[in-house]
């Protein structure tokens, strides 16, 4: 088809797009809906006319019996009787078609015939009125009313309007003797026809567009619902105004252990960790319409899960809603924690490694200067580790390092920080502690190491040397200088054997 179109010389034919099967079906659905609307409106008009026609007939027989010519009165009464009969007949067919399906297929044709008759009746009444009042405004009003109340395809309305209007123009030419008045009435009524056709076209096009948008919205909602349910990740849709859960897929029900709860019982706040986080998320949603990769720890029935949630503000069924997509990252967090431990922990001793320990020491130095509080820095060196490695092997040396680290860790307070500074060196940081604290600490460690030596029957000394300084907030020395001072204090004790060796 595209090849054949490319051979045509007319650009507008080349650009013509043939409607798809789905579009044709949608047009048929709209035609059916519009026809049902026309049937309903014509029914209401017929009911009103059936009720009011006895009054018109009474006027024709009584009040107008001496008005105009006999031809005028007889024609007027005939129109009223015929219209009464036509309206009654339509109501009969309408109610029968609702009970018997085989009559329903003819009702749309009857509707168009009904409208055609009433436009014809209006034209005939207008021609007849030239024998009495000479007015055409009733005909014009009926045209506009028909266009407003019964919007339909332009071709159908043209079939109804144009023959009847030609009949009107012919009738006016027969019964209006004044040429100026004739031309004026013909122009005014023709303009009314054009305006009525334009109004009907606009209303019909608007209804068609509105109906197609409605179908598209419904189709989008169905697609959204289908994708929502089959999505492999937990999804929740909550209403913004009251946080009521409107949709939840099976993955989310399983993730939050909600199988025993009805939809109305589910708490929409489940997608927010805390009230503070909820306020922050809602504020960002109002500003940016979405919040991406919000990581939080969800606790439910004592279980802890790490999740990453993406929030998006959207319209669903003409309401502002929040779509929350949840990704379980508990395993990823466990791996991250494990990597963090490997990155910050000394693998042999299980305490902080040098990099992490130095970071904490730097922070403590800043904290001490900010808060005007001192801290104790102790430098520790294992005695005779090289001798143990040479005589008993590095495996035994590793045992010594690990044992001494465990002994020190067992006696320091929770506020203290111990980390491995080098092969056989450790640094201990104790905020706001004194010389008495470190002396008591090493007395306990000394006893612990003596017990370990006896327990494992070691032939060598299990001991370490230490030296410490009190770091005052007024001290302007940097971190390296403080460590050098603590190291010097340790070597002084190691060489003089003053409260340094544990055997």
**Are 403 and 445 members of one domain?**
yes
Contact criterion met (CB below 8 Å) for 434 and 472: no
**Are 197 and 72 members of one domain?**
yes
CA–chain centroid gap for 225, Å, is 13
Cα–Cα dist 236/259, whole Å: 14
Examine the pLDDT at 343 and tell me if it is beyond 80.
Answer: no
365 or 20, which is more confident = 365
**Buried-state track 351-369, b at ≥16 Cβ within 10 A, e below 16:** bbbeebbbeebeebbeebe
Helix, strand, coil percent content, the chain, rounded in steps of 5: 65, 15, 20
> Which residues make Cβ contacts (< 8 Å) with residue 184, sequence separation at least 6?
none
CATH number, domain of 351, equals: 3.30.70.270
CATH number, domain of 323, equals: 3.30.450.20
Please tell me the predicted confidence (pLDDT) of residue 14: 41
Please tell me the predicted confidence (pLDDT) of residue 58: 63
Average pLDDT over residues 421-435: 91
First to last CA, the chain: 100
Cα–Cα dist 217/361, whole Å: 61
């979405």: which residue's tokens? 290
User: Residue 331: which pLDDT band, with cuts at 50, 70 and 90?
Assistant: confident
Please tell me the predicted confidence (pLDDT) of residue 178: 87
**Are 466 and 376 members of one domain?**
yes
Please tell me the predicted confidence (pLDDT) of residue 141: 93
Closest CA to 428 of 486, 502, 367: 486
> Mean pLDDT, the chain, as a whole number?
83
Tens-place pLDDT, residues 170-209 = 999 988 888 899 999 999 999 999 999 999 999 999 999 9
Q: Is residue 224 part of a domain?
A: no
Task: Determine the structural domain holding residue 25 and report its residue range.
Answer: 20-214
**Are 172 and 27 members of one domain?**
yes
Q: Is residue 340 part of a domain?
A: no
Q: Is residue 219 part of a domain?
A: no
Q: Is residue 9 part of a domain?
A: no
**Are 159 and 293 members of one domain?**
no
Order across the sheet with 290-300: list the strands: 245-248, 235-239, 319-328, 303-316, 290-300
Contact criterion met (CB below 8 Å) for 403 and 453: no
Q: Is residue 309 part of a domain?
A: yes
**Are 328 and 398 members of one domain?**
no
Tens-place pLDDT, residues 144-156 = 999 999 999 999 9
Please tell me the predicted confidence (pLDDT) of residue 20: 55
**Are 148 and 34 members of one domain?**
yes
User: Residue 13: which pLDDT band, with cuts at 50, 70 and 90?
Assistant: very low
Please tell me the predicted confidence (pLDDT) of residue 366: 86
Examine the pLDDT at 418 and tell me if it is beyond 80.
Answer: yes
In the chain, how many domains are there? Answer: 3
**Are 270 and 363 members of one domain?**
no
Q: What is the per-residue DSSP string for 59-102?
A: IIIIITTTSS-HHHHHHHHHHHHHHHHHHHHHHHHHHHHHH-HH
Last residue of a domain, one of 289, 308, 333: 333
Q: Per the structure block, which two tokens stand in for 60?
A: 């024709």
Q: Per the structure block, which two tokens stand in for 297?
A: 């720890």
Q: Per the structure block, which two tokens stand in for 390?
A: 């040479």
Cα–Cα dist 501/454, whole Å: 17
Q: Which SS3 state, helix, strand or coil, does residue 131 take?
A: coil
User: Residue 66: which pLDDT band, with cuts at 50, 70 and 90?
Assistant: low
Last residue of a domain, one of 299, 333, 367: 333
User: Residue 503: which pLDDT band, with cuts at 50, 70 and 90?
Assistant: very low
Q: What is the per-residue DSSP string for 184-223?
A: HHHHHHHHHHHHHHHHHHHHHHHHHHHHHHHHHHHHHHHH
Average pLDDT over residues 456-462: 89
Please tell me the predicted confidence (pLDDT) of residue 302: 56
Q: Is residue 502 part of a domain?
A: no
Phi/psi at 327 (nearest 5 deg)?
A: -120, 125
Please tell me the predicted confidence (pLDDT) of residue 2: 41
**Are 201 and 57 members of one domain?**
yes
**Are 113 and 262 members of one domain?**
no
- Report which listed range, 296-300, 376-380, 471-475, is most confident: 376-380
Q: Is residue 370 part of a domain?
A: yes
Last residue of a domain, one of 214, 241, 275: 214
Contact criterion met (CB below 8 Å) for 376 and 468: yes
**Are 437 and 475 members of one domain?**
yes
Q: Is residue 77 part of a domain?
A: yes
**Are 32 and 167 members of one domain?**
yes
């Amino acid at each position: 088809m595209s090849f054949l179109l490319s051979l045509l010389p007319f650009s507008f034919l080349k650009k013509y797009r043939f409607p798809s099967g789905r579009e044709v079906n949608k047009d048929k659905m709209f035609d059916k809906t519009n026809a049902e609307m026309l049937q309903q409106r014509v029914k209401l008009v017929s009911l009103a006319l059936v009720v009011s026609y006895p009054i018109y007939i009474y006027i024709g027989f009584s009040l107008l019996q001496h008005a105009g010519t006999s031809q005028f009165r007889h024609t007027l009464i005939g129109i009223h009787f015929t219209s009464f009969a036509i309206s009654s007949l339509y109501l009969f067919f309408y109610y029968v078609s609702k009970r018997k399906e085989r009559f329903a297929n003819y009702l749309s044709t009857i509707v168009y015939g009904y409208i055609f008759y009433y436009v014809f009746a209006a034209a005939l009444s207008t021609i007849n009125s030239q024998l009495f009042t000479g007015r055409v405004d009733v005909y014009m009003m009926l045209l506009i009313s028909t266009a407003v109340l019964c919007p339909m395809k332009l071709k159908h309305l043209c079939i109804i309007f144009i023959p009847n209007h030609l009949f009107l123009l012919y009738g006016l030419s027969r019964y209006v003797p004044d040429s100026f008045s004739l031309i004026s009435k013909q122009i005014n009524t023709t303009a009314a026809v054009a305006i009525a056709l334009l109004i009907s076209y606009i209303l019909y096009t608007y209804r068609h567009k509105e109906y197609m948008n409605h179908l598209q919205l419904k189709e989008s909602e169905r697609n959204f619902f289908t994708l929502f349910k089959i999505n492999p990740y937990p999804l929740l849709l909550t209403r913004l105004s009251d946080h009521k859960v409107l949709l939840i897929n099976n993955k989310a029900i399983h993730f939050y252990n909600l199988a025993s709860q009805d939809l109305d019982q589910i708490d929409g706040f489940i997608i927010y960790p805390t009230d503070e986080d909820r306020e922050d998320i809602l504020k960002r949603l109002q500003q940016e319409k979405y919040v991406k990769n919000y990581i939080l720890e969800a606790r439910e029935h004592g279980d802890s899960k790490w999740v990453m949630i993406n929030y998006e503000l959207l319209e669903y069924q003409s309401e502002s809603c929040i779509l929350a997509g949840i990704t379980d990252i508990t395993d990823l967090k466990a791996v991250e924690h494990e990597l963090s431990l490997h990155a910050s922990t000394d693998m042999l001793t299980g305490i902080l490694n040098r990099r992490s320990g130095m970071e904490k020491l730097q922070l403590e130095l800043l904290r001490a200067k900010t808060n005007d509080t001192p801290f104790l820095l102790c430098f520790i060196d294992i005695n005779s580790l090289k001798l143990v490695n040479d005589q008993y092997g590095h495996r035994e040396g590793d045992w010594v390092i690990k044992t001494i680290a465990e002994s020190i860790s067992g006696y320091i307070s929770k506020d203290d920080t111990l980390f491995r500074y080098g092969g056989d060196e450790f640094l201990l940081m104790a905020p706001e502690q004194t010389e008495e604290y470190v002396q008591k600490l090493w007395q306990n460690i000394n006893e612990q190491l003596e017990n370990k030596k006896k327990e494992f029957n070691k032939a060598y000394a299990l001991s370490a040397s230490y030296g410490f300084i009190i770091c005052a907030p007024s001290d302007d020395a940097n971190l390296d200088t403080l460590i050098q001072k603590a190291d010097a204090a340790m070597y002084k004790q190691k060489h003089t054997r003053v409260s340094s060796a544990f055997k």
